[in-house]
Amino acid sequence: MRAFERPVGRLRIDHDAVAECRELAAEISADVESLARSNTTVSLERACLRLVGVDGVAGDGSEAAPTPNLVVDRVRSEVGLERGVLIPFFNSVAQGGRGIQATAEAIAAGEMTVSWPPERELKGVLAAATAEALTAVDRVAAAAQERTARIGSVGEAAKPWFYEIVATGNIHEDIPQAQAAAREGCDIVAVIRSTGQSLLDYVPYGATTDGFAGTFATQENFRLMRAALDEVGQELGRYIRLTNYASGLCMPEIAVMAATERLDMMLNDCMYGIIFRDINMQRTFVDQHFSRMVHALAGIVINTGEDNYLTTANAVDAAHTVLASHFLNERLASVAGLRREQIGLGHAFEIDPEVPDQIALELAHAQLVRECFPDAPLKYMPPTKHMTGNIFQGFLLDGMFNLVGALTGQDIILLGMMTEGVHTPFLSDRDLALENASYIFRGAATLAGEIRFEEGGDVERRAAQVLEECCQMLRKVAEVGMFGAIEAGMFADTVRTRDGGKGLDGVIRKGESYLNPIVDLLSDRVGATR
């Protein structure tokens, strides 16, 4: 069993500065929280329909359209979404005397009109919607209970958890690769999404075999992979976790599907889609709050995407931006009801290996994150930006990454591939990555509790510098606001505008009579701000 601990208190950092960063993050996030409370989106409303049982597609082939999309589109055009989709939808259920799915199909086909119920009937329709919402929210909560029961039955994997990506484009080919990875020592399987799925304003349906550089995130694909990992976990005597991506234009729907099929981790960051996929920031922040409430109740650990900042910015000069984003992500996750042990902050080993004292700098950065977030299941990302065709140097860099991860108590280790700069990794590459990590953690993990840094030494000074720069940056962000900071390119050296990007037309300001019992129940269950 791999020895593991989260070593804290080894760096003498300014804890008053850490407290100030948290206070600034709360101040900065206030506008985002207000935005999320006062707006809804088409994807959020579709997610609510999915939670109460609306699914399927209408039409065939390239003409097929998801039923939840069609229902929301009809409600928006005939009633408006300012008051939400659920009341008009359940009014149609009551009027037609059909079940939920049959009503949805009839609305999608244009066979039923939708309308807001008259005042004398509103109470009954709301009661029906609330009853279905309660069942749906209970189902989300049941995922957390089932996970706990399964871990108790088959056994928990020892930390740190080794995390590998599997994605051929074909779910039926992904499954044997994922099971093989688990048998070789992988603890978390991530099924990366097909290129461009985050930009689709609908969720593909069914099991898919035609993804490009990834496999489409669909509920059926989630179900198939979850069953396969449960099977191999039973065989191995340890629970194998499944990860996907709750980001993009369908973030709330994917979060709902993940909760329904008992996924364990979801990539879910406060700015990733805005910066790297040019998705409108208002759409992203509204969708994110709802998604995180779902994750909170389902017991899902989120992984944030700060590691991506260092693919576009210098990993030394921009180290403080990663830490600043951590404080913001922590705050926005907390107000959505996520517990600290569910907030898996991401960072990366991305300093150019030609930089003198690279390893010391990486140690300072990784240990600082651990000191600032002692309860977080940190996700540490391997080198990618400076990987080349020299696979031998790549293998060594991955070893150094593993060593820093072992010495600083990172919980989740995404395994580096020596062929990162050459081709999509083969199974043999993944096997070598597991061997590399297993050797380092077997041989060095106990050092995490032994290492001490010289007071006032290079590592401590570097950590202090990054923390101070982080604090200075958050002060500036507080002056201009979160939206202004993104518009100024303060994160990842990338400029986005408040009204730019994809998906703004799917943001709807809530009316005074907005009614959504799912949002209300989720907020109450997880203690989210309302």
DSSP 345-393: -EEE--S-TTSTTHHHHHHHHHHHHHHH-TTS--EEEPP-TT--S-HHH
Stretch (H or E) spanning 434: helix 427-444
- Work out the pLDDT band at 406, boundaries 50, 70, 90: very high
How many folded domains does the chain comprise?
A: 1
CB 35 within 8 A of CB 288: no
Q: Please tell me what DSSP assigns to residue 417.
A: -
Q: Please tell me what DSSP assigns to residue 425.
A: P
HSE value, Cβ hemisphere, 13 Å, CA-based, for 27: 14
Q: Which residues pair with 58 in a beta bridge?
A: 65
CA end-to-end distance (rounded Å), the chain: 44
CB 279 within 8 A of CB 273: yes
Q: Is 84 left (phi over 0), alpha (psi -120 to 50) or beta?
A: left
Q: Please tell me what DSSP assigns to residue 163.
A: E
Residue that has been written with the tokens 């517990």 in this structure: 339
Whether the bond into 160 is cis, omega within 30 of 0: yes
Q: What is the mean pLDDT of residues 91-118?
A: 95
Residue 94 covered by a domain: no
Residue 220 covered by a domain: yes
Q: Give yes or no for residue 1 having a pLDDT over 70.
A: no
Question: CB 505: neighbour CB atoms within 10 A?
Answer: 11
Residue 369 covered by a domain: yes
Q: Give yes or no for residue 27 having a pLDDT over 90.
A: yes
For residue 235, give every residue at least 6 positions away whose Cβ sits within 8 Å of its Cβ, in sequence order, or none: 183
What percentage of the chain carries pLDDT values higher than 90? Answer: 86
Q: What is the mean pLDDT of residues 339-366?
A: 96
Residue numbers of the domain that contains 214: 15-31+158-467
Measure Cα distances from 235 to 27, 175, 179, 180, 434 in Å: 49, 15, 10, 12, 19
pLDDT at 138: 97
Residue 62 covered by a domain: no
Name, of 48-62, 236-250, 408-422, the range with top average pLDDT.
236-250
Residue 246 covered by a domain: yes
Q: Give yes or no for residue 222 having a pLDDT over 80.
A: yes
Whichever domain contains 267, its CATH number is 3.20.20.440
Q: What is the mean pLDDT of residues 441-459?
A: 89
Nearest to 112 by CA among 66, 76, 78: 78
Q: Give yes or no for residue 521 having a pLDDT over 90.
A: yes
Residue 282 covered by a domain: yes
- Work out the pLDDT band at 397, boundaries 50, 70, 90: very high
Q: Please tell me what DSSP assigns to residue 488.
A: T
Bigger pLDDT: 365 or 310? Answer: 365
Residue 314 covered by a domain: yes
Measure Cα distances from 224 to 184, 209, 250 in Å: 21, 13, 20
pLDDT in tens, 250-301: 999 999 999 999 999 999 988 889 998 999 999 999 999 999 999 999 999 9
* Active site residues per annotation: 272, 307, 379
Nearest to 459 by CA among 352, 332, 371: 371
Measure Cα distances from 487 to 272, 305, 483 in Å: 14, 19, 6
Strands 346-348 and 57-58: unpaired
Residue 152 covered by a domain: no
Q: Dmax of the chain from CA atoms?
A: 74
Bigger pLDDT: 529 or 438? Answer: 438
